[in-house]
Structure 1
Amino acid sequence: MPIAHNPFSVSLPVSSLLPPEDDVTSLLPGPNSVSAHLAERLAVVPTVPGALIVLGLIRRHETGSTAPGSLAAATSVVARSLRGDDWLGRSGPDEFAVLLRGTAADAEAAAARIVGAITELDIPGLGACAGVTALEEGTTAAETLRRAVLSLQTARSQGAGRVIRHSGTR
């Protein structure tokens, strides 16, 4: 049986389906995926310890969103800084969520390296800071994310280059 020609088919080059090279962040999982993956990781915390980093970009002397080229450069730095079993997503327009195996102290050290690497990009006005929290058994994804974001907000209030680890239950 021959296959009939489809007059409605559209043939697009693969490159037209991919985002522009300076928009690599659109390839990252978004906030809904961050919450879902965080919930999955929290379910295995008793056997696999982990931590969450919420890394935020800071732009001095700019309003609006981060320039696409700066965002692409920061995304590349974050992605290259992670291990094979770490997970990276976007938690906001200028924020990345990183789930790692290990302790909050391990995540704090990783966050400091990433924040430093973004500073070393030497993009005028671009900096970064991070909030870190341990994944704790019995804690919801929403609460874990809230703790990391609260720590990020504290870090942002202190300026670029800061990494704040959540402590306590507030």
Structure 2
Amino acid sequence: MTIAPNTPALAAAPAAEAVVADVTTLLPSRAAVLDRIAEHLATPAAAPAALMVIGLLRRDDGWPTAQSTLSAVTMLLAGSLRGDDWLGKSGPGEFVVLLAGPATAAGTAATRLVGTIPALGIPDLTAAAGIAALTGDADAAEVLRRGLVSLTAARRAGAGTVIQHRKPY
């Protein structure tokens, strides 16, 4: 049996589609999310913006979330956002939204979006959200980390919870 050679030049180059879209939902992936945040942070006179990370919560057997569920949530979120908002994915059950405006407005939007997830009618599916402001004191990875830390705290508090990241005093 002949095995095809693994040429380093071909093996090392990632496919553009792998960086651009999550294969399940066709949303931009974590790498694209980081690029988008960095792009906004690099604009010196950029208007205020916030990062919202919506995480799904399920009470079931722990198997991966069904593709049909992820598609339904993607359609719900995409249809609920404004034209200048940006939707991507940061993890298997985590959706990222970049919103124009202050973090307080993102908190209001997150509360509304998290409240619509149970309306999909998927048994035991709820959500929580974390919010982080895009400020000049952090790079893209730190902004995403702040959003994910807030999401983790919100998930622990329970379904429907939205927590905004605040810097320690």
Does 31-40 or 46-55 show the bigger shift?
A: 46-55
Can you give the 5+ residue segments of structure 2 that lack an aligned partner in the other structure?
Answer: 1-21
TM-score (norm 2): 0.82
1:59 — aligned with what?
58
Verify the 8 A CA contact 2:131 2:150 in the aligned structure 1: yes
**Alignment RMSD, CA only?**
1.7
Equivalent residue runs for 1:4-23 within 5 Å = none
Residues 83 and 25 of structure 1, relative CA distance in 2, 3 Å threshold: farther
Residues 34 and 54 of structure 1, relative CA distance in 2, 3 Å threshold: same
Verify the 8 A CA contact 1:45 1:136 in the aligned structure 2: no
User: Could you say what secondary structure the match of 1:26 adopts?
Assistant: coil
Q: Structure 2: which amino acid aligns with 1:92?
A: G
Q: Aligned residue pairs: how many?
A: 148
Verify the 8 A CA contact 2:41 2:135 in the aligned structure 1: yes
Verify the 8 A CA contact 2:25 2:71 in the aligned structure 1: no
Partners of 1:76 and 1:53 in 2: CA distance: 17
The sequence identity of aligned pairs, in percent, is: 51
TM-score (norm 1): 0.82
Partners of 2:137 and 2:104 in 1: CA distance: 20
Bigger radius of gyration, 1 or 2?
A: 1
Instruction: Encode CA deviations 1:66-113: one digit per residue, 9 max, x unaligned.
Output: 111211111111111111111110100110110010000110111111
2:104 — aligned with what?
105
Equivalent residue runs for 1:1-170 within 5 Å = 25-44=24-43, 46-169=45-168
Instruction: Encode CA deviations 1:109-164: one digit per residue, 9 max, x unaligned.
Output: 11111101112112111011100011101310011001000000000001111110
Can you give the 5+ residue segments of structure 1 that lack an aligned partner in the other structure?
Answer: 1-22
